[in-house]
């Protein structure tokens, strides 16, 4: 490590398009979890604020700080499909993160930071984050790791297939005896945000209108609290289930007191994850992503990795999704194939937990990219020392 100084606990930062989870290595769970959006005023402030240099202060809010100003701010996501929009947003998010972790500017240099990213993410995004953290924030040691691989490590397994589906990215890969197989990598830029978008379309057909970014946030909350998947494992006909949902709809109350009545939309919205063509997207559904990922590895390995399929990410928390995935996967593969899907109680934490585990290993101390290596060798060192 740089200067052979004793560093403090590493910080694990799992950057998702929908949420960011961060905490210290060695802790059981992330210390902070916040929505990955930035809020900016929609209207001109009556009383303007200035700093000591007489420069006007532009109000900007991150994560839960936006909640107080809902209705007078517009929300935007600084990360879309795993990629930061610009360097200023990187600084805004990480400065907020350090504040919430109660780390002052003098102590930032003492904490190495592990940042997660989707498979096949552009190198330029990794380099932008590294530049901002090394040159502007004061970080001295940094590491980038792929989200699905970390998720598998969280289960203490070294072989298996990982399907990770989050807000903006759905991805899959195969790992065998600790070796990741790059040829098996699959990534598609769709996820929970598309479920919310489809739910908004379905609700619009019922006469409910959601126009701006803060109202779309309500649609996302409805999705998280009410949507589920229909699995063939339950002894019922899907049409009967739809009729039952429409006959006894769920009422969701909005902040202004109005009510949104949700019936079969609860069931229809998540279907886009299995059939993206519903919204005109030429992507593979979850089942086909797994099959194509596994079919890319040697035939001798396929049975082994079918026997340990980990489903992680925020969408894995949708009720019935894993059961539906298991049933459809068995229908699309040959009869005698042994298939075992598993998903932990909190699949959205798998990636962070995996990063937490590897950061505590003694051997990992040699894997950090230090500020001096960054200065001496340039951005290429980020792509050599990563997983």
Query: CATH 1.20.1540.10: does it fit domain 2-36+79-151+349-384?
Result: no
Q: How far apart are CA 191 and CA 169, in angstroms?
A: 6
pLDDT tens digits along 359-368: 999 889 899 9
pLDDT value for 54? 66
CATH topology of domain 153-190+283-346: Nucleotidyltransferase; domain 5 (3.30.420)
Q: Where in the chain do CATH 3.30.420.40 domains reside?
A: 2-36+79-151+349-384, 153-190+283-346
Helices 213-226 & 192-205, crossing angle to 10 degrees? 100
pLDDT value for 298? 96
Residue 49 has pLDDT above 80, yes or no: no
- CB neighbour list of residue 157: distance below 8 Å, 6 or more residues apart: 308, 310
Asked whether 142 and 369 are in contact (CB, 8 A), the reply is yes
- CB neighbour list of residue 361: distance below 8 Å, 6 or more residues apart: none
Q: What is the 3-state secondary structure (H, E, C) of 325-380?
A: HHHHHHHHCCCCCCCCEECCCCHHHHHHHHHHHHHCCHHHHHCCEEHHHHHHHCCH
pLDDT value for 238? 85
pLDDT value for 24? 97
pTM to 2 decimal places: 0.92
List the one residue out of 166, 213, 229 whose CA is nearest residue 192. Answer: 166
| β-pair partners for 50 | 56
pLDDT value for 243? 93
Average pLDDT over residues 67-91: 93
Average pLDDT over residues 8-17: 95
pLDDT tens digits along 179-231: 999 999 999 999 999 999 999 999 999 999 998 888 999 999 999 999 999 98
Query: CATH 2.50.20.10: does it fit domain 192-273?
Result: no
For 156-186, the DSSP string reads T-SSEEEEEE-SS-EEEEEEETTEE-GGG-E
DSSP 99: H
pLDDT value for 59? 83
Average pLDDT value over all residues in the chain = 92
Q: How far apart are CA 336 and CA 190, in angstroms?
A: 32
């Amino acid at each position: 490590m740089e200067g052979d100084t004793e560093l403090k606990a590493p910080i694990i930062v799992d950057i998702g398009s929908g949420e960011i989870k961060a905490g210290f290595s060695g802790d059981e769970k992330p210390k902070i979890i916040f929505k990955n959006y930035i809020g900016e005023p929609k209207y001109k402030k009556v009383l303007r604020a200035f700093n000591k240099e007489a420069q006007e202060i532009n109000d900007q809010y991150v994560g839960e700080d936006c909640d107080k100003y809902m209705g007078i701010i517009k929300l935007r996501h600084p990360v879309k499909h795993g990629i930061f929009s610009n360097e200023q947003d990187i600084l805004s998010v990480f400065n907020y993160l350090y504040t919430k972790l109660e780390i002052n500017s003098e102590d930032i240099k003492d904490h190495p930071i592990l940042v997660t990213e989707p498979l096949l993410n552009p190198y330029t995004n990794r380099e932008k984050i590294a530049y901002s953290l090394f040159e502007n924030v004061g970080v001295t040691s940094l590491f980038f790791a792929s989200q699905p691989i970390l998720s598998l490590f969280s289960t203490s397994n070294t072989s298996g297939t990982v399907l990770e589906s989050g807000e903006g990215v759905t991805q899959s890969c195969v790992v065998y005896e600790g070796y990741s197989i790059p040829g098996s990598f699959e990534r598609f830029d769709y996820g929970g945000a598309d479920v919310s978008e489809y739910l908004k379309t379905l609700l619009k057909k019922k006469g409910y209108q959601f126009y701006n970014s803060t109202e779309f946030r309500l649609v996302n909350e409805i999705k998280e609290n009410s949507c589920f998947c229909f699995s063939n494992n339950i002894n019922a006909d899907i049409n009967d289930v739809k009729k039952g949902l429409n006959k006894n709809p769920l009422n969701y109350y909005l902040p202004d007191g109005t009510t949104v009545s949700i019936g079969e939309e609860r069931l229809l919205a998540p279907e886009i994850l299995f059939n993206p063509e519903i919204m005109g997207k030429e992507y593979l559904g979850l089942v086909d992503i797994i099959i194509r990922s596994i079919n890319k590895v040697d035939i001798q390995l396929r049975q082994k990795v079918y026997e340990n399929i980990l489903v992680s990410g925020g969408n894995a928390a949708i009720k019935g999704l894993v059961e539906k995935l298991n049933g459809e996967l068995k229908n699309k593969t040959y009869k005698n194939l042994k298939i075992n899907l598993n998903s932990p109680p909190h699949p959205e934490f798998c990636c962070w937990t995996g990063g937490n585990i590897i950061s505590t290993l003694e051997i990992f101390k040699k894997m950090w990219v230090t500020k001096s290596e960054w200065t001496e060798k340039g951005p290429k060192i980020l792509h050599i020392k990563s997983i």
